[in-house]
Amino acid sequence: MSAPVILWFRNDLRLADHPALQAALATGAPVLPLYVQDTQDRWALGAASRWWLHHSLAALTADLRARGADLLLRRGAAAEILPALAAEVGADIVFTGAPTEPAERARDRAVAEALQADGRALRRVRTTLLFPPETLRNRSGKPFAVYTPFAKACLAQPDPPPPSPAPKAIPHARRPAGDTLESWNLLPHQPDWAGGMRATWTPGEAGATARLAAFAGARAARYGSDRDRPDRDGTSMLSPHLHFGEVSPAQVWHATGRGQPVFIRELLWREFCHHLLWHHPTMPDAPLRAAFAAMPWRDDPAGLRAWQRGRTGIPLVDAGMRQLWEIGWMHNRVRMLVGSFLVKHLLLPWQEGERWFWDTLVDADLGNNAGGWQWIAGCGADAAPYFRVFNPVLQGRKFDPDGAYVRRWVPELARLDTRFIHAPWDAPASVLAEAGITLGRSYPHPIVDLMAGRDRALAAFATLPKG
Protein backbone atom coordinates (compact mmCIF):
# COMPACT_ATOMS: atom_id res chain seq x y z
CA MET A 1 0.00 0.00 0.00
CA SER A 2 1.27 3.50 -0.87
CA ALA A 3 2.21 5.99 1.83
CA PRO A 4 -0.80 7.88 3.21
CA VAL A 5 -1.43 11.59 2.90
CA ILE A 6 -2.82 13.81 5.65
CA LEU A 7 -5.80 16.08 5.06
CA TRP A 8 -5.65 18.88 7.61
CA PHE A 9 -9.11 20.43 7.99
CA ARG A 10 -9.33 24.09 9.02
CA ASN A 11 -12.35 26.37 8.48
CA ASP A 12 -13.48 24.07 5.64
CA LEU A 13 -15.48 21.45 7.50
CA ARG A 14 -17.22 19.82 4.53
CA LEU A 15 -16.68 17.11 1.94
CA ALA A 16 -18.38 18.61 -1.14
CA ASP A 17 -16.49 21.14 -3.26
CA HIS A 18 -13.36 20.75 -1.15
CA PRO A 19 -10.26 21.31 -3.32
CA ALA A 20 -7.81 20.12 -0.65
CA LEU A 21 -9.74 16.86 -0.25
CA GLN A 22 -9.87 16.45 -4.03
CA ALA A 23 -6.10 17.02 -4.23
CA ALA A 24 -5.51 14.42 -1.53
CA LEU A 25 -7.75 11.88 -3.28
CA ALA A 26 -6.03 12.56 -6.61
CA THR A 27 -2.82 11.07 -5.22
CA GLY A 28 -4.51 7.68 -5.02
CA ALA A 29 -3.10 7.25 -1.52
CA PRO A 30 -5.01 6.50 1.69
CA VAL A 31 -6.17 9.71 3.39
CA LEU A 32 -5.92 10.53 7.09
CA PRO A 33 -8.35 13.36 7.95
CA LEU A 34 -7.13 15.55 10.82
CA TYR A 35 -8.35 18.54 12.80
CA VAL A 36 -5.98 20.33 15.16
CA GLN A 37 -7.19 22.55 17.96
CA ASP A 38 -4.28 24.97 18.18
CA THR A 39 -5.09 27.45 20.94
CA GLN A 40 -1.85 29.42 20.57
CA ASP A 41 -3.64 32.42 19.12
CA ARG A 42 -4.80 35.67 20.68
CA TRP A 43 -7.98 35.29 18.66
CA ALA A 44 -8.84 31.83 19.95
CA LEU A 45 -12.49 30.92 19.35
CA GLY A 46 -15.11 32.65 21.44
CA ALA A 47 -17.79 30.80 23.38
CA ALA A 48 -20.45 30.78 20.65
CA SER A 49 -17.95 29.64 18.01
CA ARG A 50 -16.72 26.84 20.28
CA TRP A 51 -20.30 25.60 20.59
CA TRP A 52 -20.62 25.60 16.81
CA LEU A 53 -17.25 23.92 16.30
CA HIS A 54 -18.19 21.03 18.59
CA HIS A 55 -21.30 20.22 16.60
CA SER A 56 -19.65 20.85 13.24
CA LEU A 57 -16.81 18.45 14.03
CA ALA A 58 -19.33 15.86 15.21
CA ALA A 59 -21.19 16.20 11.90
CA LEU A 60 -17.97 15.99 9.88
CA THR A 61 -16.93 12.86 11.77
CA ALA A 62 -20.24 11.19 10.93
CA ASP A 63 -19.96 12.20 7.26
CA LEU A 64 -16.43 10.82 7.03
CA ARG A 65 -17.39 7.55 8.72
CA ALA A 66 -20.22 7.11 6.22
CA ARG A 67 -17.50 7.08 3.53
CA GLY A 68 -15.15 4.71 5.28
CA ALA A 69 -12.86 7.30 6.87
CA ASP A 70 -12.53 8.82 10.32
CA LEU A 71 -11.46 12.17 11.77
CA LEU A 72 -8.40 12.32 13.98
CA LEU A 73 -8.47 15.04 16.65
CA ARG A 74 -5.28 16.40 18.15
CA ARG A 75 -4.81 19.39 20.45
CA GLY A 76 -1.63 21.45 20.68
CA ALA A 77 0.80 23.35 18.49
CA ALA A 78 0.22 22.45 14.86
CA ALA A 79 3.91 22.95 14.07
CA GLU A 80 4.68 20.12 16.49
CA ILE A 81 1.69 17.87 15.82
CA LEU A 82 1.86 17.75 12.01
CA PRO A 83 5.53 16.70 11.65
CA ALA A 84 5.22 14.15 14.45
CA LEU A 85 2.02 12.69 12.99
CA ALA A 86 3.48 12.56 9.48
CA ALA A 87 6.47 10.62 10.82
CA GLU A 88 4.18 8.34 12.85
CA VAL A 89 2.04 7.28 9.89
CA GLY A 90 4.67 7.63 7.16
CA ALA A 91 2.99 10.49 5.29
CA ASP A 92 5.10 12.67 2.99
CA ILE A 93 2.45 15.26 2.11
CA VAL A 94 -0.04 17.27 4.17
CA PHE A 95 -2.91 18.88 2.22
CA THR A 96 -4.73 21.80 3.79
CA GLY A 97 -6.66 24.99 3.05
CA ALA A 98 -5.15 28.45 2.73
CA PRO A 99 -6.52 30.70 5.51
CA THR A 100 -6.08 34.47 5.45
CA GLU A 101 -5.89 35.09 9.22
CA PRO A 102 -2.43 36.32 10.31
CA ALA A 103 -2.00 33.66 13.01
CA GLU A 104 -3.03 30.90 10.59
CA ARG A 105 -0.57 32.12 7.96
CA ALA A 106 2.22 32.17 10.54
CA ARG A 107 1.16 28.68 11.62
CA ASP A 108 1.35 27.48 8.02
CA ARG A 109 4.87 28.82 7.66
CA ALA A 110 5.96 27.07 10.85
CA VAL A 111 4.33 23.79 9.81
CA ALA A 112 5.83 23.97 6.32
CA GLU A 113 9.32 24.58 7.70
CA ALA A 114 9.02 21.74 10.21
CA LEU A 115 7.77 19.32 7.56
CA GLN A 116 10.44 20.40 5.10
CA ALA A 117 13.13 19.68 7.67
CA ASP A 118 12.00 16.04 7.53
CA GLY A 119 11.78 15.96 3.74
CA ARG A 120 7.99 16.31 3.77
CA ALA A 121 5.71 18.96 2.24
CA LEU A 122 2.70 21.13 3.02
CA ARG A 123 0.33 21.70 0.10
CA ARG A 124 -2.02 24.65 0.60
CA VAL A 125 -5.17 24.84 -1.53
CA ARG A 126 -7.76 27.64 -1.43
CA THR A 127 -10.93 26.26 0.17
CA THR A 128 -12.73 29.21 1.78
CA LEU A 129 -12.69 32.08 -0.75
CA LEU A 130 -13.65 32.63 -4.37
CA PHE A 131 -10.51 34.55 -5.33
CA PRO A 132 -6.92 34.53 -4.07
CA PRO A 133 -6.63 37.66 -1.88
CA GLU A 134 -2.96 38.10 -2.74
CA THR A 135 -3.50 38.32 -6.51
CA LEU A 136 -6.33 40.83 -6.95
CA ARG A 137 -4.88 44.30 -7.61
CA ASN A 138 -6.17 47.68 -8.69
CA ARG A 139 -5.01 49.52 -11.80
CA SER A 140 -1.98 50.83 -9.92
CA GLY A 141 -0.93 47.31 -9.03
CA LYS A 142 -1.78 47.81 -5.36
CA PRO A 143 -4.26 46.00 -3.10
CA PHE A 144 -7.79 47.36 -3.24
CA ALA A 145 -8.82 49.81 -0.54
CA VAL A 146 -12.34 50.56 -1.78
CA TYR A 147 -15.07 47.97 -2.06
CA THR A 148 -16.83 48.97 -5.30
CA PRO A 149 -13.81 48.63 -7.63
CA PHE A 150 -12.87 45.44 -5.80
CA ALA A 151 -16.31 43.99 -6.47
CA LYS A 152 -16.11 45.05 -10.12
CA ALA A 153 -12.74 43.32 -10.43
CA CYS A 154 -14.23 40.14 -8.94
CA LEU A 155 -17.24 40.24 -11.25
CA ALA A 156 -14.90 40.64 -14.22
CA GLN A 157 -13.38 37.26 -13.39
CA PRO A 158 -14.87 34.07 -14.83
CA ASP A 159 -17.48 32.38 -12.67
CA PRO A 160 -15.99 29.89 -10.21
CA PRO A 161 -16.04 26.30 -11.50
CA PRO A 162 -19.23 24.37 -10.75
CA PRO A 163 -19.06 22.80 -7.28
CA SER A 164 -17.88 19.22 -7.12
CA PRO A 165 -19.92 16.65 -5.18
CA ALA A 166 -18.70 14.94 -2.05
CA PRO A 167 -16.79 11.70 -2.73
CA LYS A 168 -18.77 8.52 -2.24
CA ALA A 169 -15.84 6.83 -0.52
CA ILE A 170 -12.52 7.91 0.97
CA PRO A 171 -9.64 5.42 1.15
CA HIS A 172 -8.64 5.71 4.76
CA ALA A 173 -5.19 5.44 6.28
CA ARG A 174 -4.53 3.83 9.63
CA ARG A 175 -5.85 6.14 12.31
CA PRO A 176 -3.57 6.53 15.34
CA ALA A 177 -4.84 7.45 18.78
CA GLY A 178 -6.31 10.89 19.20
CA ASP A 179 -8.46 13.04 21.45
CA THR A 180 -12.18 12.67 21.96
CA LEU A 181 -14.30 15.63 21.01
CA GLU A 182 -15.82 15.72 24.50
CA SER A 183 -12.37 16.09 26.07
CA TRP A 184 -11.98 19.47 24.39
CA ASN A 185 -14.80 20.96 26.52
CA LEU A 186 -16.05 23.19 23.71
CA LEU A 187 -19.63 23.24 24.96
CA PRO A 188 -20.72 25.85 27.54
CA HIS A 189 -20.77 24.83 31.19
CA GLN A 190 -24.27 26.28 31.43
CA PRO A 191 -26.22 24.29 28.82
CA ASP A 192 -29.25 26.59 29.02
CA TRP A 193 -27.12 29.39 27.56
CA ALA A 194 -27.02 27.56 24.23
CA GLY A 195 -30.74 26.76 24.11
CA GLY A 196 -31.53 29.48 21.60
CA MET A 197 -28.64 28.43 19.40
CA ARG A 198 -29.74 24.80 19.44
CA ALA A 199 -33.25 25.84 18.41
CA THR A 200 -31.98 28.05 15.57
CA TRP A 201 -29.02 26.29 14.00
CA THR A 202 -27.95 22.93 12.62
CA PRO A 203 -24.14 23.05 12.40
CA GLY A 204 -22.54 20.82 9.80
CA GLU A 205 -22.58 20.33 6.05
CA ALA A 206 -26.13 18.94 5.97
CA GLY A 207 -27.41 21.97 7.88
CA ALA A 208 -25.56 24.30 5.53
CA THR A 209 -26.97 22.54 2.47
CA ALA A 210 -30.49 22.76 3.83
CA ARG A 211 -30.06 26.44 4.74
CA LEU A 212 -28.80 27.27 1.24
CA ALA A 213 -31.61 25.33 -0.42
CA ALA A 214 -34.20 27.16 1.69
CA PHE A 215 -32.77 30.53 0.68
CA ALA A 216 -32.07 30.01 -3.02
CA GLY A 217 -34.98 30.78 -5.28
CA ALA A 218 -37.87 32.91 -4.02
CA ARG A 219 -36.18 34.18 -0.87
CA ALA A 220 -33.03 35.07 -2.77
CA ALA A 221 -35.17 36.91 -5.32
CA ARG A 222 -36.69 39.01 -2.51
CA TYR A 223 -33.33 39.63 -0.86
CA GLY A 224 -32.92 43.12 -2.30
CA SER A 225 -36.20 44.31 -0.77
CA ASP A 226 -36.22 42.23 2.42
CA ARG A 227 -32.59 42.25 3.58
CA ASP A 228 -32.92 45.47 5.59
CA ARG A 229 -36.04 44.33 7.45
CA PRO A 230 -35.16 42.58 10.72
CA ASP A 231 -38.86 41.85 11.20
CA ARG A 232 -38.77 39.55 8.14
CA ASP A 233 -37.01 36.31 7.33
CA GLY A 234 -35.19 38.03 4.50
CA THR A 235 -31.52 37.13 4.84
CA SER A 236 -29.75 33.88 4.07
CA MET A 237 -28.31 33.27 7.58
CA LEU A 238 -25.49 31.40 5.83
CA SER A 239 -22.70 33.36 7.53
CA PRO A 240 -21.74 30.76 10.19
CA HIS A 241 -21.85 27.96 7.63
CA LEU A 242 -19.58 29.99 5.35
CA HIS A 243 -17.22 30.87 8.19
CA PHE A 244 -16.74 27.24 9.24
CA GLY A 245 -16.59 26.17 5.61
CA GLU A 246 -19.57 23.84 5.80
CA VAL A 247 -20.58 25.30 2.45
CA SER A 248 -18.19 26.83 -0.06
CA PRO A 249 -18.67 30.33 -1.49
CA ALA A 250 -18.71 28.71 -4.94
CA GLN A 251 -21.70 26.60 -3.90
CA VAL A 252 -23.48 29.75 -2.73
CA TRP A 253 -22.52 31.61 -5.91
CA HIS A 254 -23.90 28.92 -8.19
CA ALA A 255 -27.06 28.39 -6.11
CA THR A 256 -27.97 32.09 -6.32
CA GLY A 257 -26.10 33.22 -9.45
CA ARG A 258 -25.29 36.58 -10.96
CA GLY A 259 -29.03 37.08 -11.36
CA GLN A 260 -29.11 38.08 -7.67
CA PRO A 261 -26.59 40.96 -7.78
CA VAL A 262 -27.49 42.42 -4.38
CA PHE A 263 -26.81 39.12 -2.64
CA ILE A 264 -23.67 38.45 -4.69
CA ARG A 265 -22.33 41.83 -3.56
CA GLU A 266 -22.70 40.66 0.04
CA LEU A 267 -20.71 37.53 -0.79
CA LEU A 268 -18.05 39.76 -2.34
CA TRP A 269 -17.99 41.98 0.76
CA ARG A 270 -16.82 38.89 2.63
CA GLU A 271 -14.09 38.46 0.02
CA PHE A 272 -13.15 42.14 0.39
CA CYS A 273 -12.73 41.86 4.15
CA HIS A 274 -10.39 38.89 3.73
CA HIS A 275 -8.52 40.78 1.01
CA LEU A 276 -7.98 43.61 3.51
CA LEU A 277 -6.95 41.20 6.27
CA TRP A 278 -4.41 39.55 3.99
CA HIS A 279 -2.75 42.87 3.18
CA HIS A 280 -3.29 44.51 6.60
CA PRO A 281 -2.73 41.82 9.24
CA THR A 282 -3.04 44.39 12.07
CA MET A 283 -6.62 45.21 11.03
CA PRO A 284 -8.27 43.42 13.99
CA ASP A 285 -6.41 45.68 16.43
CA ALA A 286 -5.45 48.94 14.75
CA PRO A 287 -7.43 51.38 12.59
CA LEU A 288 -6.53 51.29 8.92
CA ARG A 289 -6.71 55.08 8.92
CA ALA A 290 -3.84 56.06 11.20
CA ALA A 291 -5.41 59.35 12.30
CA PHE A 292 -8.06 57.41 14.23
CA ALA A 293 -5.43 56.16 16.67
CA ALA A 294 -5.82 59.57 18.34
CA MET A 295 -9.58 59.21 18.86
CA PRO A 296 -10.54 60.40 22.37
CA TRP A 297 -12.60 57.39 23.37
CA ARG A 298 -14.48 57.30 26.68
CA ASP A 299 -14.07 54.77 29.48
CA ASP A 300 -17.56 53.70 30.54
CA PRO A 301 -17.77 50.13 31.91
CA ALA A 302 -21.40 50.58 32.96
CA GLY A 303 -22.39 51.80 29.51
CA LEU A 304 -20.53 48.95 27.84
CA ARG A 305 -22.24 46.44 30.09
CA ALA A 306 -25.67 47.90 29.36
CA TRP A 307 -24.97 47.66 25.64
CA GLN A 308 -23.75 44.07 25.91
CA ARG A 309 -26.85 42.97 27.81
CA GLY A 310 -29.42 44.89 25.77
CA ARG A 311 -30.30 47.28 28.59
CA THR A 312 -29.57 50.64 26.95
CA GLY A 313 -33.16 51.87 26.97
CA ILE A 314 -33.06 52.20 23.17
CA PRO A 315 -35.47 49.49 21.92
CA LEU A 316 -33.94 48.58 18.55
CA VAL A 317 -30.43 48.47 20.03
CA ASP A 318 -31.59 46.29 22.90
CA ALA A 319 -33.51 43.99 20.55
CA GLY A 320 -30.40 43.37 18.48
CA MET A 321 -28.14 42.74 21.45
CA ARG A 322 -30.64 40.32 22.98
CA GLN A 323 -31.03 38.47 19.68
CA LEU A 324 -27.25 38.12 19.62
CA TRP A 325 -27.15 36.73 23.16
CA GLU A 326 -30.02 34.33 22.53
CA ILE A 327 -29.10 32.80 19.16
CA GLY A 328 -25.50 33.89 18.53
CA TRP A 329 -26.44 35.95 15.50
CA MET A 330 -27.85 39.36 14.66
CA HIS A 331 -29.52 40.81 11.59
CA ASN A 332 -27.02 42.75 9.47
CA ARG A 333 -28.94 46.05 9.46
CA VAL A 334 -29.15 45.89 13.24
CA ARG A 335 -25.44 45.05 13.49
CA MET A 336 -24.67 48.38 11.84
CA LEU A 337 -27.07 50.15 14.16
CA VAL A 338 -25.81 48.68 17.45
CA GLY A 339 -22.23 49.25 16.29
CA SER A 340 -22.90 52.89 15.50
CA PHE A 341 -24.60 53.33 18.88
CA LEU A 342 -21.59 51.91 20.75
CA VAL A 343 -18.94 53.82 18.82
CA LYS A 344 -20.74 57.11 18.33
CA HIS A 345 -23.54 57.60 20.83
CA LEU A 346 -21.54 56.02 23.67
CA LEU A 347 -18.12 56.98 22.23
CA LEU A 348 -16.61 53.63 23.20
CA PRO A 349 -13.77 52.00 21.21
CA TRP A 350 -14.81 49.86 18.28
CA GLN A 351 -12.43 47.17 19.55
CA GLU A 352 -14.76 46.65 22.55
CA GLY A 353 -17.61 45.81 20.20
CA GLU A 354 -15.35 43.64 18.09
CA ARG A 355 -14.33 41.61 21.16
CA TRP A 356 -17.93 41.15 22.29
CA PHE A 357 -19.04 40.03 18.85
CA TRP A 358 -16.08 37.66 18.69
CA ASP A 359 -17.24 35.89 21.83
CA THR A 360 -20.98 35.86 21.13
CA LEU A 361 -21.37 35.41 17.35
CA VAL A 362 -21.58 31.93 15.87
CA ASP A 363 -20.29 33.51 12.64
CA ALA A 364 -17.37 35.31 14.32
CA ASP A 365 -14.98 35.74 11.41
CA LEU A 366 -11.78 37.71 11.95
CA GLY A 367 -11.83 39.47 8.58
CA ASN A 368 -15.56 40.24 8.52
CA ASN A 369 -15.68 41.23 12.19
CA ALA A 370 -12.75 43.63 11.99
CA GLY A 371 -13.79 44.97 8.59
CA GLY A 372 -17.35 45.59 9.74
CA TRP A 373 -16.38 47.36 12.94
CA GLN A 374 -13.83 49.56 11.19
CA TRP A 375 -16.47 50.44 8.59
CA ILE A 376 -18.91 51.42 11.33
CA ALA A 377 -16.29 53.48 13.18
CA GLY A 378 -15.24 55.29 10.01
CA CYS A 379 -11.61 54.26 10.39
CA GLY A 380 -11.33 51.44 7.85
CA ALA A 381 -11.07 50.99 4.12
CA ASP A 382 -14.15 52.19 2.25
CA ALA A 383 -15.54 53.21 5.63
CA ALA A 384 -18.81 54.92 6.38
CA PRO A 385 -18.21 58.66 6.86
CA TYR A 386 -17.44 59.38 10.48
CA PHE A 387 -20.25 61.95 10.59
CA ARG A 388 -22.86 59.32 9.66
CA VAL A 389 -24.54 58.51 12.96
CA PHE A 390 -27.46 56.11 12.73
CA ASN A 391 -30.53 57.31 14.60
CA PRO A 392 -31.99 54.14 16.14
CA VAL A 393 -35.48 55.62 16.42
CA LEU A 394 -35.64 56.59 12.75
CA GLN A 395 -34.04 53.31 11.74
CA GLY A 396 -36.62 51.41 13.74
CA ARG A 397 -39.54 53.27 12.23
CA LYS A 398 -38.19 52.67 8.74
CA PHE A 399 -37.08 49.04 8.95
CA ASP A 400 -39.27 47.68 11.79
CA PRO A 401 -42.37 49.79 11.16
CA ASP A 402 -44.79 47.66 13.16
CA GLY A 403 -42.29 47.00 15.93
CA ALA A 404 -42.45 43.22 15.41
CA TYR A 405 -38.69 42.78 15.82
CA VAL A 406 -38.60 44.83 19.02
CA ARG A 407 -41.66 43.07 20.44
CA ARG A 408 -40.05 39.68 19.85
CA TRP A 409 -36.71 40.42 21.52
CA VAL A 410 -37.79 43.02 24.09
CA PRO A 411 -40.96 41.41 25.41
CA GLU A 412 -41.45 43.98 28.17
CA LEU A 413 -42.41 46.42 25.39
CA ALA A 414 -44.66 43.94 23.54
CA ARG A 415 -47.92 45.69 24.47
CA LEU A 416 -46.74 49.21 23.72
CA ASP A 417 -48.57 51.25 21.09
CA THR A 418 -46.72 51.05 17.76
CA ARG A 419 -46.42 54.84 17.67
CA PHE A 420 -44.03 54.68 20.63
CA ILE A 421 -42.43 51.25 20.28
CA HIS A 422 -39.11 52.75 19.14
CA ALA A 423 -39.19 55.70 21.54
CA PRO A 424 -41.07 54.68 24.71
CA TRP A 425 -39.83 57.78 26.55
CA ASP A 426 -42.13 59.82 24.28
CA ALA A 427 -45.22 57.85 25.28
CA PRO A 428 -47.77 59.50 27.60
CA ALA A 429 -47.94 58.04 31.09
CA SER A 430 -51.37 56.58 30.37
CA VAL A 431 -50.07 54.70 27.31
CA LEU A 432 -47.13 53.30 29.29
CA ALA A 433 -49.46 52.25 32.09
CA GLU A 434 -51.82 50.52 29.69
CA ALA A 435 -48.85 48.57 28.31
CA GLY A 436 -47.65 47.64 31.80
CA ILE A 437 -44.43 49.63 31.46
CA THR A 438 -42.69 51.65 34.14
CA LEU A 439 -39.62 53.32 32.69
CA GLY A 440 -36.66 52.90 34.98
CA ARG A 441 -38.13 49.71 36.45
CA SER A 442 -39.64 47.32 33.87
CA TYR A 443 -37.59 48.91 31.10
CA PRO A 444 -34.62 51.27 31.52
CA HIS A 445 -34.47 54.93 30.69
CA PRO A 446 -32.08 55.64 27.78
CA ILE A 447 -28.48 55.61 29.01
CA VAL A 448 -27.68 58.48 26.65
CA ASP A 449 -29.67 61.28 25.04
CA LEU A 450 -29.49 60.49 21.33
CA MET A 451 -28.96 64.07 20.19
CA ALA A 452 -26.41 64.82 22.89
CA GLY A 453 -24.54 61.59 22.12
CA ARG A 454 -24.43 62.46 18.43
CA ASP A 455 -23.09 65.95 19.12
CA ARG A 456 -20.45 64.56 21.48
CA ALA A 457 -19.30 62.08 18.85
CA LEU A 458 -19.03 64.70 16.11
CA ALA A 459 -17.04 66.94 18.44
CA ALA A 460 -14.66 64.05 19.22
CA PHE A 461 -14.19 63.18 15.56
CA ALA A 462 -13.48 66.84 14.78
CA THR A 463 -10.35 66.65 16.97
CA LEU A 464 -8.67 64.06 14.74
CA PRO A 465 -5.82 65.09 12.42
CA LYS A 466 -6.99 65.96 8.94
CA GLY A 467 -6.02 64.14 5.79
3-state helix/strand/coil string of the chain? CCCCEEEEECCCCCCCCCHHHHHHHHCCCCEEEEEEECCCCCCCCCHHHHHHHHHHHHHHHHHHHCCCCCCEEEECCHHHHHHHHHHHHCCCEEEECCCCCHHHHHHHHHHHHHHHHCCCEEEECCCCCCCCCCCCCCCCCCCCCCHHHHHHHHHCCCCCCCCCCCCCCCCECCCCCCCCHHHHCCCCCCHHHHHHHHHHCCCCHHHHHHHHHHHCCHHHHCHHHHCCCCCCCCCCCCHHHHHCCCCCHHHHHHHHCCCCHHHHHHHHHHHHHHHHHHHCCCCCCCCCCHHHHHCCCCCCHHHHHHHHCCCCCCHHHHHHHHHHHHHCCCCHHHHHHHHHHHHHHCCCCHHHHHHHHHHHCCCCCHHHHHHHHHHHHCCCCCCCCCCCCCCHHHHHHHHCCCCHHHHHHCHHHCCCCHHHCCCHHHCCHHHHHHCCCCECCCECCCCCCHHHHHHHHHHHHCCCCCC
Of 375, 344, 376, whose CA–CA distance to 459 is shortest? 344
> Could you tell me how far CA 204 lies from the centroid of its own chain?
16
274, 129 Cβ separation under 8 angstroms: yes
Which residues neighbour 441 within 8 Å (Cβ) at sequence distance 6 or greater?
A: none
HSE, side-chain direction, 13 A CA sphere, residue 78 = 26
- Show which residues are catalytic: 266, 269, 297, 332, 350, 373
| Phi/psi at 432 (5° precision) | -65, -40
Cα-only R_g, the chain: 24
For residues 8, 55, 51, 108, the Cα torsion angle rounded to the nearest 10 degrees is 10
